[in-house]
Amino acid sequence: MKKKSTLGLLILSFLLLTACGSTGNNANIASSAPAETSDPASSQPAESSEAPATPTEPVTIEFWYGLGGKLGENMQSLIEKFNSSQQEVIVKPVVQADYSETGKKLQAAIASGNVPAAVLSSNVDWAKKGYYASLDELIAAQPDFNKDDVIQTFLEQGKVDGKQYFLPMYGTTQVMYYRKDAFEKSGIKPEELTTWEALGKAAATMTVKSGDKTTFYGWEPMWGAENMIDAVYGKGGSILSEDGKTVLIDSPEWISTWEFFRKAIHDDKTMRIHSGGQGWEYWYKTIDDVMKGQAAGYTGSSGDQGDLDFTQLAAMEQPGWEGVGAGKPVAQAILAGIPAKASPEQQQAAFKWFSFFMNAENTAFWSMNSGYIAVRQSALDDPAFIAFSKENPQSTIPLKQAAHASKPFQDPTGGKINDALKIAADKVQISNVSAEKALKEAKEAAQRELDKLNK
């Protein structure tokens, strides 16, 4: 065998670590038992003949997902590839504005009983209530699926009470994208920005102001609680106590970290937040600021790479904190599931589609064209993937970061703690409420919900 590349060794190390550790009628089915026809002379044994069976119609299913831009184009490409690769299943894409809209529309579909067969969405609470189908029997019936080849930390995220309800379509983590010219102009070396404190100073250096107005921002965090939570994890903070009974989001680690961002956004005006709008509008406005030379960099998803121009940009890992160590941002699987009310034929068809999307060649394609993390170890052996990573070093950053990442928080309250954190993040990022006030209010609301479970 040829020697593995440095990237291959890095990814293999990560994998070894992780292995240890339509809105109307949905999911129409054109399939039915074929009508059997017999030759009129079939009652005469010497001359019996049997007409050929009528071919079974393909099962048509809807796949709901909230992806735009290049991601949407790549998804459409794989759906077309799947449909042309076989004759048993036809996948019809139904696109929503974002992941959140997919969840809302699925809720209405479940209530009406008219569900799609496949959704790029997951909800632990709904799985526990029986709204999603367990996939264990489907996996067991298809040995070629080879679940041992799936990155185990991602596969584990799809389990609920020991059963596999969701499958990882791809992995994601938020990384740092920056303009090479902005860094060079200010004499900033990306390899030296290993702490948030250093990044804060660099952002101040690169910021350009005209009077009280900032005309060029040193950095743009992405709207929402996620990347501020990532930064908290890097300081050693956690959402719940080890026994799971106490909410800890008003601890010093949380307050000091979130206040760092509030101050930069509102007091110093060296950072900016784009919020609101339809679907992913805020996300693309943030990207546009950097691409159009109105900001030096931003914190965004590994999946942004398909929309970025890396002749102008480069990528680096999220930093840690002085005296603490490397950052520990979340590495999360984007999961897909099958609603329980889908018919058995629809469920089998949906699983066939998921298996195709997850195979080594296609998960490697998705990673190369999106920046998301491939979900199978065997993707490392895909020749196109190996060649691509050598030519596009930014594609290695999510993998490097995932090697020391945190697992996503599983909200025991069915989302109430996460809701409290989202409200607190808006107060800090948009309304300029102090981190201490916003987080203490969020802690009280979250603790009430948690206490209901512990009674």
Band (15; pLDDT cuts 50, 70, 90):
very low
Give the number of other Cβ atoms within 10 Å of residue 185's Cβ. Answer: 12
For the segment 316-338, what is each residue's pLDDT rounded down to a tens digit? 999 999 999 999 999 999 999 99
In angstroms, the CA 46 to CA 15 distance is: 64
In angstroms, the CA 84 to CA 305 distance is: 27
In angstroms, the CA 169 to CA 164 distance is: 14
Residue 4 pLDDT more than 80? Answer: no
For the segment 107-116, what is each residue's pLDDT rounded down to a tens digit? 999 999 999 9
Band (277; pLDDT cuts 50, 70, 90):
very high
Residue 437 pLDDT more than 60? Answer: yes
Band (294; pLDDT cuts 50, 70, 90):
very high
Q: pTM for this structure? A: 0.71
Which domains are assigned to the chain? 6-34+55-172+332-402 (3.40.190.10), 173-329+409-454 (3.40.190.10)
At 254, the amino acid letter reads W
The pLDDT value recorded for residue 204 is 98
Tokens of 202: 């660099």
In angstroms, the CA 365 to CA 374 distance is: 9
For the segment 30-74, what is each residue's pLDDT rounded down to a tens digit? 332 333 333 333 333 333 344 444 458 999 999 999 998 889 999
The answer to whether residues 337 and 122 touch, using CB atoms and an 8 Å cutoff, is yes
Of 94, 13, 124, 56, the closest CA to residue 410 belongs to 124
Of 275, 201, 247, 248, the closest CA to residue 428 belongs to 275
Cα 292 from chain centroid (whole Å): 26
The pLDDT value recorded for residue 8 is 43
Residue-averaged pLDDT of the chain: 88
Percentage of the chain with pLDDT > 70? 88
Of 378, 266, 336, 404, the closest CA to residue 116 belongs to 336
Band (383; pLDDT cuts 50, 70, 90):
very high
Band (287; pLDDT cuts 50, 70, 90):
very high
Band (284; pLDDT cuts 50, 70, 90):
very high
CA distances from 309 to 58, 175, 204, 316 (A): 41, 16, 24, 15
First to last CA, the chain: 59
For the segment 393-402, what is each residue's pLDDT rounded down to a tens digit? 898 898 788 8
The torsion angles phi and psi of 233, rounded to 5 degrees, stand at: -60, -35
The answer to whether residues 307 and 70 touch, using CB atoms and an 8 Å cutoff, is yes
- 3-class SS string, the chain: CCCCCHHHHHHHHHHHHHHHCCCCCCCCCCCCCCCCCECHHHHCHHHCCECCCCCCCCEEEEEEECCCHHHHHHHHHHHHHHHHHCCCEEEEEEECCCHHHHHHHHHHHHHHCCCCCEECCCCHHHHHCCCECCCHHHHHCCHHHCHHHECHHHHHCCEECCEECEEEEEEEEEEEEEEHHHHHHCCCCHHHCCEHHHHHHHHHHHCEEECCEEEEECEECCCCCHHHHHHHHHCCCCCECCCCCCECCCCHHHHHHHHHHHHHHHHCCCECCCCCCCCCHHHHHHHHHHHCCCECEEEEEHHHHHHCCCCCEEEECCCEECCCECCCCEEEEEEEECECCCCHHHHHHHHHHHHHHHCHHHHHHHHHHHCCECCEHHHHHCHHHHHHHHHCHHHHHHHHHHCCCECCCCCCCCCHHHHHHHHHHHHHHCCCCCHHHHHHHHHHHHHHHHHHHHC
Tokens of 11: 């990814």
Residue 167 pLDDT more than 60? Answer: yes
The pLDDT value recorded for residue 19 is 39
> Pairing state of beta strands 118-119 and 59-65?
parallel
Residue 5 pLDDT more than 80? Answer: no
Max CA separation in the chain (angstroms): 101
At 165, the amino acid letter reads Y
In angstroms, the CA 399 to CA 153 distance is: 13
| Mean of pLDDT values over 408-421 | 94
The torsion angles phi and psi of 297, rounded to 5 degrees, stand at: -175, 175
Tokens of 82: 């799947």
Tokens of 84: 């042309």
| Mean of pLDDT values over 204-209 | 98
Percentage of the chain with pLDDT > 90? 78
In angstroms, the CA 16 to CA 402 distance is: 12
At 108, the amino acid letter reads A
Cβ neighbours for 140, distance < 8 A, ≥ 6 positions apart: none
